[in-house]
Structure formats: C-alpha cells, structure tokens
Amino acid sequence: MSSLSSFPALEALKSTLEQIILDPSYHDLLAVVKGARNGAVYGAKVRFPHALVMVFLFRPGTLQQKVSLVFRATRTHAANLARFAVVYKLTCFLLKQYGATPGKSGHYDSMLAGLLGGYVVFGGRSKRSGKIPSVNQQIVIYVFARVVLALARLAVKPEGGTGLPFVSREGISGAITKYAWPVFAATSWALVMHIFKHHPDELQPSLRSSMTYIYQQSEHWDSLRNFVWHNK
C-alpha cells in the first residue's frame, strides 16, 4: 500500500488540517467537535453491550425486533451524549467569551451549561408516545445517584471545607461516614422491593424485567428442565 507521502496533495491537506487543529485560537470550538465525537463513541460502547444483554435475555419478540431494539437504544444513547456534549461545551464557550469577564470562565458556567444541556437533551418527551424515553431515564437516574453520593460526601467534609454546619464536625462526620452507606443501601433495597411488589409498573422497564426474572419467575416450574436449565 502506498504511503501518504506518495500523494503530495493529500500530504499538503493533512499538513493544513493539522495546523488548524493545533492552532490555539481554534481550540475551544474544536473541543466542541471532539466532545461530540467522544460522547457518541462512549455512549455506543456503554449502551450496546447493556442493551444486547437486556433485550436478548428479557424482551420478547423476533430476532429482527430484538436487533432493532438494541440498535435503537445504542443510537439514542450515543446521539444524546453527543448532543449534550455539544450544548454543554458550546454554552461554556459562549459564556467564557461574552460573560461578566470576557476570556475567563465564570464560577457557575459549568452549572448553567449543564442546566441548559440537561433541559434540551434529556428534559423532553417522545413526540410519538408522549413518554420520557427509557434510555434518557436511565442516564439521568445514573447521574442523579452519583450526584447524591457526591453531595453526601461533601456535606460531611471537615469544618472549614465544603461541609455543612453541625454534620461536618469531627465526631459526627465520622459516625455519618461509617453508618450512612449501610442505611442508604438497606433503605434503597427496601423501597425498590416494596415498589416492585405493589407498584411494578412505576419502575424503569429494564429494572422491572430483571426483577421479574429473579423474584417472580423463580416461583414457577413444573419439571427439572425448567427448574435448572430453562427458566420457563
């Protein structure tokens, strides 16, 4: 195979493109493009194996229907992370250029950009069904859970840091740090099992499917075949 150097025009184009992408004056705008690329790639990598397992294990339908569901979920996840990256990074760029101190990022720029991106990309409902897309629910709930855990850690940081009054005192902070997680874990499982038992339709579909498989379908069998080798 001929090397790129064998084609002077292509070599010149490559050199020109590298000069552009390495020019500091274009960095912030090109970071928007790179953010979209990375969001799409990451979304596809994360969603594809998850959707493949969940759809083929727990969703009924033909092979074609299942493949379509996997592709749709992967495309939605990748597209939404790419869109959010564009909205977020472009908003940060505009706030930096036209904010209170032009050329310098403000303290709350990332929060404002995240607020706008979250509303535009993840805040809407499906035009076809009028429901919140399940992929968006999963992403937002995933983020929310991590935010709650992070805020809990910040709240009990020693006094003088970011901790809250009273709970960040040395003795109280240590006790909360020690016991908060087991209480949180136990409460979460208590609530999800209660909701699954009495209000299963309110749970996110993939969670409901996996819990149905583990806790409901394990109650029924009529032979060794569907007791050990097959679920049904």
Task: Provide the pLDDT confidence category of residue 187 given band limits of 50, 70 and 90.
Answer: very high
The pTM assigned to this predicted structure is: 0.77
pLDDT at 146: 92
Task: Provide the pLDDT confidence category of residue 161 given band limits of 50, 70 and 90.
Answer: low
- Burial tier of 6 (Cβ tally within 10 Å: 0-12, 13-18, 19+): exposed
Cα–Cα distances in angstroms (integers) from residue 135 to residues 111, 139, 140, 231, in the given order: 23, 6, 9, 27
Report the C-alpha gap between 140 and 138 in whole angstroms: 6
pLDDT at 166: 73
What would the two tokens of residue 229 be?
A: 């080798």
Task: Provide the pLDDT confidence category of residue 36 given band limits of 50, 70 and 90.
Answer: very high
Report the C-alpha gap between 135 and 117 in whole angstroms: 16
Mean pLDDT of 129-156: 88
Mean pLDDT of 212-232: 81
pLDDT at 82: 96
Task: Provide the pLDDT confidence category of residue 6 given band limits of 50, 70 and 90.
Answer: low
**Res 35 pLDDT > 70:** yes
**Res 206 pLDDT > 70:** yes
Provide DSSP, 96-125. Answer: HHHSSSTTS--TTHHHHHHHHHIIIIIS--
Mean pLDDT of 29-50: 93
Task: Provide the pLDDT confidence category of residue 144 given band limits of 50, 70 and 90.
Answer: very high
Report the C-alpha gap between 46 and 40 in whole angstroms: 10
Task: Provide the pLDDT confidence category of residue 168 given band limits of 50, 70 and 90.
Answer: confident
Report the C-alpha gap between 180 and 149 in whole angstroms: 10
Evaluated on CA atoms 67, 72, 77, 79, the torsion sign reads: positive
**Number of residues that make up the chain:** 232
Q: What is the number of other CB atoms lying within 10 angstroms of the CB of residue 213?
A: 13
Mean pLDDT of 99-114: 88
pLDDT greater at residue 221 or residue 68: 68
- Summarised one tens digit per residue, pLDDT across range 53-86 is 989 988 889 999 999 999 999 999 999 999 999 9
Task: Provide the pLDDT confidence category of residue 193 given band limits of 50, 70 and 90.
Answer: very high
